[in-house]
Structure 1
Amino acid sequence: MTAPTAAATPARSAVRRTAAVVMALLAGAAVATAPAGAAGRVPDPLNVSASSAAGVVTSAPACSPGPLTDGRLLTGSASLNPGVFSSLASQLGVSLPFRVGATQAALPEDDARVALSNARGTLTLALKSGTCSSPTLSYDGTTVTGSGTWTVVPDSAPANAYRGASGTGSFGVAADVTTGSGKPWSLSLTGSVSLLQPQVAVTRRAYWGGLGNYLSRTLSVEYRIRNTGPGDAFNVKLLDAPPTSPGITRLGPVPQTVGSIRSGATASVVVRYRVCGIAVVGCRFTADTQTSLTDALDGNLHTETVPVTVQVPLTPLP
C-alpha cells in the first residue's frame, strides 16, 4: 500500500505545478475591468452665427385666419469654420417657413428647422417666434428681423454622435424673404446642449512579444480602452500609465493619441515596461492608467485615473 501512495504524490505535485503555470499564463492575458466615472459633466454651450447671400425663397402657406396673409419659405446653408460647432468644419442649414403680413411676421409652427452638421452627425433645432395671432417678428415688405427660441429636435439614430441630445436657447434672424434666389440672410444661435456622455473602462493584456523581450524583461501591456457610456468619445488619449509598484520601470511610449471611440467600442494602445527578473515568481504590478476625452461637441474635457493590475507572464509563450 505504501508504494502506490509514494508514486501518486509526485504525479499530483506535477499536476499542481502545471496548473500553477497555466493559471499564471492566463493571468497575464486576462482582462481586469476598471470602470471610470463621468462625474462633473455639464451642458455644452452653443454659440453659432452664420450668414449667406445665396438663400432661396419660395411661396409657402400663410396663416388663416390672421394678419399674416403670406408665407415665405427660406432655405439655404452656410459653412462654419472649425471651432464654431465642435472642432470640425461644419454646415448650418436652414428651412424657415415665415408667415408675413403688412409689418409683422412669425415662425409659428414646429416645422422651422436649423441643422448643424459635420462628419460626426447632425444636431437639429426647432425654431419658434410668435403665433399667427400674435406675431413677434418685424417685416418691412422685404426683410424679416427679430428673435425667438429654439429647442433640440430628438434624434436616436445610432450613427449620429449627437443622438439623445437635449437643449434650449434663443436665436436672432434677419432675412430677405422676397421670392427668388440669391437672398441674403443671417442667423445667430445661443444656448446650451446636453449630450449623451462617454465613459471609459480600461482592461489589459500582458505579453512578452518574443524570447528577446523575455530575456531583457521588456514586457508589453496592451491597454484596451472601452467606451462604456451612452455617448461617443472624442479626442481620446492615454496620457500616462506609470507603475506604482517598486522595481518596475515604464519605458513608454506615452502619451498616445487614441482618437474617437464610439459607444460600446474599444481601442487599444501598448505601453512597455522593464519588470522583475526571470527568477521572480508571481511578479505583478499596478499601473495608474490616465486617460482624457471629450464629448461630440469637444466639450467636457475629462480625465480619469484607473488603477490596473498587471500579472507578469512566467514564460515567453504567447
Structure 2
Amino acid sequence: MRGTTAPRVRSAVRRAAVVLIGLQVWLASAAAPAGAVGREAAAGRAPDPVSVSASSAAGAVTSAPGCPSGPLGATRHLTGGTALSPGVFSSLASQLSVDLPFRVGGTQAALPGGEAQVALTNARGTLALALTAGDCTTPTLSYDGTSASGSGTWTVVPDAAPTNAYRGATGGGTFTVTSDVTPGTGKLWTVNLTGNVTLLQPQVAVTQRAFWGGIGNYFARTLSVEYRIRNTGTGDAFGVKLVDALPTDSRITRIGPVPQTVGAIPAGGSARAVVRYRVCAISCRFTATTQTFLTDALDANGHTETVPVVVAVPITPFP
C-alpha cells in the first residue's frame, strides 16, 4: 500500500509545481515593464553632427608671457561670448563662449592642446570643446601682428555632472578661427566648428494602469489607461510624444486623445499619458501597441519606439 501511495503523492506534487511555476511566469509577464520592440541599442545610434559658426565684436584680449621656449614669446588671451539662435545648437537658444590663449610670435601663433576651449551652453547643460592648433615648438596658425588665424582640431571635454544633459559626450572635429588679438576690448573674432558628437541615448519602457474613473464610465464601458513612459536609457530624452496606443483587439476602440506631447524625461525618470478606450462588455484583456517618439539632448536621433502593453480590463467599477 505504501509503495502505491508514494508515486501518487509525487505525481500530485509535480502537477502542483507545474501550476505554481506557470502562475509565477504569468504574473511576472503581467507585472514586468514592456520594453521597446526592434529598437537599436543606444550605442548604435548615429553621432550627432555639429556645425556652428559664431562671431562677435565684443571680445576682450589680455597680454601675458608666452611659451617658456621657442618662437612664441607672448600670449594674447581672448575671452568672449555670443548668442546662438535656436536650431544652431539644439532647438534651444544657446550661448557660445570662447577662452583662447593664443601663443604668438613673429608671423606664427598656436593654441596648444588642453589650454583653449569653446563652450556651448543652453538650458539643458554645457558641451565644452578643447581646441588644438599646433604647440609652442610647432605653430600652425598665422599671425600678422594684429590678427591670429588658421585651423585646428577639437575634442569634447569629458563631463559626468548628472544635471548636464550632455554628460558622457564624446567626439571631435575641426575648427577655423580668426581674431584680433591686440590687447583691449571690443575685439572682433570668428569661430567655425564642424564635427560629430556621440551622446548618451534615451530608451523607452512602458507600463500601464487601467481604471474606470467613475460608475458611469463602467456602465458605458469607457476605460482609461494611464501609460507610464519610463526612460531606461543613460541619456535624457527630449521632445517625447505618445504618438499612439492602438489596440490589436477588434472588440476594443481607441477613443484617445493621441498624439499627446509628454516633453522631456531625464534618464531614470518617467512621465504619464492617459488614453481612453471603449471596451468589451465582459472582463477581458487586450494588447495596446504604444508608439513613443523621442530625441536626444541635441534634438537629433529622433525615432519612434514601439512597445506592446497588455491591459487587463477591471472587473469592478471600483479601484
Q: Please say whether Structure 1 and Structure 2 have the same fold, judged by a TM-score greater than 0.5.
A: yes
Asked whether 1:145 is paired with 2:168, we answer no
How far is the alpha carbon of 1:313 from its aligned partner? 0.3
Structure 2 residue aligned with 1:86: 90
How far is the alpha carbon of 1:32 from its aligned partner? 4.1
For 2:112, what is the secondary structure of its paired residue? coil
Asked whether 1:73 is paired with 2:89, we answer no
Aligned 1:214-225 pairs, distance under 5 A: 214-225=218-229
Residues paired across the two proteins, number: 288
Structure 2 residue aligned with 1:164: 168
Change (3 A) 1:218 1:32: farther
Structure 2 residue aligned with 1:9: none
Asked whether 1:317 is paired with 2:318, we answer yes
My pick for the range that moved more, 203-212 or 30-39, is: 30-39
Structure 2 residue aligned with 1:7: none
CA distance in 1, matches of 2:186, 2:260: 48
TM-score norm. by structure 1 comes to 0.89
CA distance in 1, matches of 2:167, 2:64: 30
Structure 2 residue aligned with 1:247: 251
Q: Amino acid of the residue matched to residue 311 of structure 1? A: A
How far is the alpha carbon of 1:246 from its aligned partner? 1.9
| Per-residue CA distance 1:80-134 (angstroms, 9 max, x = gap) | 0000000000000000000000100000131211000000000000000001111
CA distance in 2, matches of 1:53, 1:34: 54
Q: Amino acid of the residue matched to residue 106 of structure 2? A: A
Q: Amino acid of the residue matched to residue 300 of structure 2? A: G
| Per-residue CA distance 1:186-206 (angstroms, 9 max, x = gap) | 000000000000000000000
Q: Amino acid of the residue matched to residue 313 of structure 2? A: V
Q: Amino acid of the residue matched to residue 186 of structure 2? A: G
Contact 2:249 2:286 in 1 (8 A): yes
Structure 2 residue aligned with 1:306: 307
| Per-residue CA distance 1:225-281 (angstroms, 9 max, x = gap) | 00000000000000001100121000000000000000000000000000011xx23
> Identical aligned pairs, as a percentage?
70
The unaligned stretches of length 5 or more in structure 2 are 1-22
Structure 1 residue aligned with 2:14: none
CA distance in 2, matches of 1:265, 1:38: 20
Asked whether 1:112 is paired with 2:116, we answer yes
Asked whether 1:293 is paired with 2:297, we answer no
Q: Amino acid of the residue matched to residue 64 of structure 1? A: P
CA distance in 1, matches of 2:308, 2:101: 55
Asked whether 1:230 is paired with 2:216, we answer no
How far is the alpha carbon of 1:31 from its aligned partner? 4.7
Aligned 1:111-130 pairs, distance under 5 A: 111-130=115-134
CA distance in 2, matches of 1:210, 1:235: 32
| Per-residue CA distance 1:172-214 (angstroms, 9 max, x = gap) | 0000000000000000000000000000000000000010110
CA distance in 1, matches of 2:287, 2:138: 67
Contact 1:60 1:97 in 2 (8 A): no
Which of 101, 105, 108 is equivalent to 2:105? 101
Indicate the RMSD between aligned Cα atoms, in angstroms: 1.3
CA distance in 1, matches of 2:75, 2:141: 14
For 1:242, what is the secondary structure of its paired residue? strand
For 2:160, what is the secondary structure of its paired residue? coil
Q: Amino acid of the residue matched to residue 226 of structure 1? A: R
Q: Amino acid of the residue matched to residue 309 of structure 2? A: V
Asked whether 1:34 is paired with 2:34, we answer yes
How far is the alpha carbon of 1:38 from its aligned partner? 3.5
CA distance in 2, matches of 1:258, 1:315: 30
CA distance in 2, matches of 1:310, 1:55: 60
Contact 1:32 1:204 in 2 (8 A): no
Runs of 4+ in 1 over 2 A off after TM superposition: 37-40
Q: Amino acid of the residue matched to residue 155 of structure 1? A: D
Q: Amino acid of the residue matched to residue 56 of structure 1? A: A
Q: Amino acid of the residue matched to residue 213 of structure 2? A: G
CA distance in 1, matches of 2:64, 2:40: 47
The unaligned stretches of length 5 or more in structure 1 are 1-22
| Per-residue CA distance 1:11-61 (angstroms, 9 max, x = gap) | xxxxxxxxxxxx9xxx9xx75411123445110000000000000000133
Q: Amino acid of the residue matched to residue 265 of structure 1? A: G
Contact 1:31 1:205 in 2 (8 A): no
Structure 1 residue aligned with 2:7: none
CA distance in 2, matches of 1:169, 1:202: 37
Contact 1:38 1:198 in 2 (8 A): no
